[in-house]
Amino acid sequence: SRLVNRDRALERFPMLRHEGLRGAVEYHDGQFDDARMNVALVLTAAEHGATVLNYAVVEELIKLDGRVRGAVVRDDLAEAYAGQERYEVRADVVINATGPFVDAVRRLDDPDAPDILKTSSGIHVVLPGRFSPPDTGLLIPRTEDGRVLFLLPWLGHTLVGTTDNAAPVEADPQASSADVAYILRHVRHYFDLPVAENDVLSAWSGLRPLVQPEGLAAAQHGGSRAAAAGSTSRLSRDHTVLVSESGLVTITGGKWTTYRKMAEDAVEVAIAEGGLAPSGPSVTASLPLVGAAGYVAGGEEALAERYGLDPDVARHLHHAYGDRAPQVAALAQGGLGARLVEGLPYLEAEVRYAREVEFAQTSDDVLERRTRLAFLDRLAAETARGRVEELLERVP
């Protein structure tokens, strides 16, 4: 990082207000697509022998001799596919890695378990790409009310955030109009941008699972364990592994940048708790995720030339699918090359690929959790929904 003067700051981010600006700190950072990352992790796990289920709701935990040894799982899509509605899944150790919902699962084990989390909401707003330079973001680390504000180029658009308010745990948190207005007001305060509500293409809320020390202390007092490294639990700066009296392993807190360390800590605790014998040493520290092994920076040009793709489509496929992009491009070349929405790079081929390879079951899966269309432009996603549903139903 380095300090830069006022002129350099305005050169890098011309949208900044000139009044009162004296300089900035310039530094390098990275970004990623969390939905695509999550899909890559799931596919990689499946390729290495994991059984993967979605739309599977844990309704109760199975106990044998007072120890958690599995779960009763409800298939939320059973009615649609005329399948069995509930299953018993058995395991030597159960790991509760359900993000903001860990306390609800802990109470399936012990109805009197105290909350160990406090959740806060992070609101994000998406604006057109003209509101930020294509390769530079800007962070205000402390606004006048002590919050963080950022504008970032993201998938051809501008991502703006964020709020940090206490929020209840709910399955589908929503961005309130007050939160959106708060963000837009601060954008106008710091940036020379005539932004209005009708510029907002999409807005959403996410829940941050934050470990509260008093809740953790109460859980330990009640019999759960959070011990030192090498014992049944690990505690780090921002994530915690907790083991209940009945052996339920809970991991909570943390963030994407430490996800592998979180998994390592949780699995080591599970091995100790269940007396398990690993078949070999962990390989995930050097294991490429699905799509990464043959990825070559700049490969979108070759992809465009080979499959006759528009540059923006080739760039999107290369970024989203890595070395699996040719599989999607081949589907496009075979008759599914139409865009889902004019002006955006998402193709009909991606719907077919999401269904056949990436476990997509619903139009929401495709529009929100395989592509990011609904997060980039909510109206565009609704325009595409009918065609997405047709493609999901069609048998090739």
Closest-CA residue to 249 (of 231, 228, 229, 224): 224
Q: Which residue has the tokens 């994991």?
A: 50
> For the range 169-176, what are the long-range contacts, defined as Cβ-Cβ under 8 Å and sequence gap of 24 or more?
169/100, 169/101, 169/103, 169/104, 169/117, 169/119, 169/207, 170/207, 173/121, 173/205, 173/206, 173/207, 174/204, 174/205, 175/123, 175/124, 175/125, 175/203, 175/204, 175/205, 176/123, 176/205
CA distance 153 to 129: 7
Q: Which of 228, 183, 227 is nearest to 202 (CA)?
A: 183
Is there a common fold for 118-208 and 300-393? no
At 320 the three-state DSSP class reads helix
CATH code for residues 118-208 = 3.30.9.10
Who's near 288: CB < 8 A, 6+ residues apart? none
Distance CA 126, CA 378 (A): 10
**CA distances for 227 relative to 115, 230, 232, 243, angstroms:** 18, 8, 6, 9
Could you report the per-residue pLDDT of 123-141, keeping only the tens digit for each?
999 999 999 999 999 998 8
Confidence (pLDDT) at 221 = 62
Are the C-beta atoms of residues 125 and 161 closer than 8 Å to each other? yes
pLDDT for residue 223: 63
Domain ranges of the chain: 36-116+212-274, 118-208, 300-393
Helix (H) or strand (E) holding 52: none
221-230, long-range: CB < 8 A, 24+ apart: 222/110, 222/112, 222/113, 222/114, 224/113
The model's pLDDT over 226-267, given as tens digits with 9 standing for 90+, comes to 643 333 233 334 799 999 999 999 999 989 999 999 999 999
Share of the chain above pLDDT 90, in %: 74
Q: What's the Rg (C-alpha) of the chain? A: 23
Secondary structure (3-state) at 110 = coil
The rounded distance, in Å, linking the Cα atoms of 127 and 284 is 37
- The residue that leads in pLDDT, 63 or 146, is 63
DSSP, collapsed to helix, strand or coil, labels residue 120 as strand
Task: Tell which phi-psi region holds residue 156, choosing left (phi > 0), alpha (psi between -120 and 50) or beta.
Answer: left
Q: Does the pLDDT at position 302 exceed 70?
A: yes
- Beta pairing class for 249-253 and 95-96: parallel
Rounded Cα gap, residues 213 and 202, in angstroms: 35
- The alpha carbon torsion through 376, 380, 382, 386 (nearest 10 deg) reads -120
**Distance in angstroms (rounded) separating the CA atoms of residues 132 and 24:** 16
Assign residue 91 a region (left: φ > 0; alpha: ψ between -120 and 50; beta: otherwise): beta
Q: What is the mean pLDDT of residues 158-164?
A: 87
pLDDT digit string, tens, across residues 45-54: 999 999 999 9
- pLDDT at position 163 is 73
User: In this structure, are residues 176 and 165 in contact, taking their beta carbons and an 8 Å threshold?
Assistant: no
Residue 168, token pair as written in the block: 């209840």
pLDDT digits (tens, 9 = 90+) for 351-383: 999 999 999 999 999 999 999 999 999 999 999
Q: How far apart are CA 9 and CA 311, in angstroms?
A: 31
CATH topology assigned to domain 300-393: Helicase, Ruva Protein; domain 3 (1.10.8)
Q: Is 375 exposed, middle or buried (0-12, 13-18, 19+ CB in 10 A)?
A: buried
| Cα separation, 43 vs 41, whole angstroms | 6
Local structure of 122: helix, strand or coil: strand
Torsion, CA 328, CA 334, CA 339, CA 345, rounded to 10? 30
